[in-house]
Chain A
Amino acid sequence: MRELVVISGKGGTGKTSVTASFAVLADRPVIADCDVDAADLHLVLSPRVKERHEFWSGREAVIRQEDCNGCGICLSECRFDAVIKDGAAAGHEQFSIDPVSCEGCGVCARFCPQEAIDMRERLCGEWMISETRCGPMVHARLGVAAENSGKLVTTVRQEARRIAEEQNRSIVIVDGPPGIGCPVIASLTGATQVLVVTEPTVSGEHDLERVLSLTRHFKIPAAVCVNKWDLNPEMTQLIEGKARVAGASVAGRIRYDSAVTRAQMMERAIVETPAHCAEDFRRVWDELNA
């Protein structure tokens, strides 16, 4: 089984549009949306949700106010500025935990002399298994201001691979998150192949170098495709040159075409429309499968 991960470094370069078209072009794929904190692929593939699972991960501290004597040791022990001083009441200082800042390390609970702090399991979001016109899709929604996106990404990928094995499907196509940090690393470790979608801008060039260092770091073969290449042809050439020097292959170019936004508004992948640039998407797909 092959696992192709589409990432970009810089956000908004067209990862999801590319992934959606690949999902249509591939033969019996499983699709995984690993951009769990701003997932958009479902807006094109219109999944019908079959299964919904809560995603519990990590813990968070909660102070039982009735047992707190206001000593403030939690405040001085916490390294994440998660303990908030609420002012005095009931004859002593009041403290509470800001769940957004709490990393669930448990130091405050361990060192509270009153044992007034509980560590509670944390609901961080949900993940779904759905059916789409292209095949099964695993996707997720990270809770508002929640943590552990890397673990949620890992869950989504594992499920997608499980389905591919069970149903004897030969490829998992992964829509990855932007950046090079925790969720990106979780999206690509152990993958067969990475496609980096970039754009011919100074930001695209800069971010590509970093993202290709990451794929080298994890020893995953990478291909690069420049989206909206005609916006700056010289920059496109420069980027393709740098990609080759960095050990990546060049999978092709996609022209700037306002039809991409129109397809998005119709909830269609580009290759499902008569847009001129659809042939660019097909060529990149063929190149990756050559």
Chain B
Amino acid sequence: MSAGHYWLVIGGVLFVILNTAAGLIWLERRMLALWQDRYGPNRAGPFGLFIVLADTIKLFFKEDWIPPFADKVVFVFAPAVVVASVLLSFTIIPFAPNVVVADFNVGVLFFLAMSSMGVYSIVLGGWASNNKYALLGAMRGASQMISYEVFMGLSLMGVVIMSGSFNLSEIVAAQKNGWFILPQCVGFFIFLIAGIAETHRLPFDIPEAESELVAGFHSEYSGMKFGMFFIGEYMGITLISSMVVTLYFGGWLGPAFLPPVIWFVLKTFVFIMLFILLRASMPRPRYDQLMEYGWKILFPLSLVNLLITAAIKLLI
């Protein structure tokens, strides 16, 4: 891989990810509207696409206000963490053969490490706001994300056992003869659910829960600092979708009539749509229900899945 190619990949990934995250603002609102028999934003520009631009300009020009009772350093630091951790996670995703920023041999672990770093944005943001709703949201977020990280890791291990590697490119290559969704469908469901909880998207948006906690951990945030949380959430959706595609749906593998990148983007797009559909159709579970569901159903299930996968791998 030459240096020029390398920088091209980094620039391309950064450009595509940030634009996707911005575009998702529009896409989500349009799709939610479609599923609720509405139109959504359709005035500004073709199909209302310029709403993204308007939203961005609005976020940039809003007053960047730090509450006087907040812990200033941590308050400013927290939103940066979410964007940084999600963007760093994108470095390990193979978008196509040879189109990957860092071909890490512990890629899966790096992804887990970065998602566990993402917890800090919620916790610190909520704590630094010095606001009871923000604090409650932060506490909920911390416990939710820590517990769902556990089964997220465990459900991933089935894939790791089957492919025999932590390297995502090798995992994709190992799916040449069949995607891992079939043998690992339990792992897939656990990973998907944990991924939704990890990005704290609806129905698991308990740290935000606008009907109970105002806006949860980002109640006090405004302007571009709120925008970072906002963009971080959409990038998280893209990240989880592309991880699901990479791990269970063969990544860039696909019939040869389309280039691999297109296959990857198409599959990722399907999962982004699934995320939006979930938001459109699911009610939010209660907090204890969420934890109970995680620890009493998903956790044993992922352990059993891991055990069975390991046993089959050992016997065959």
Chains A and B belong together in one complex? no
Interface residues of A (CB under 8 A from B): none
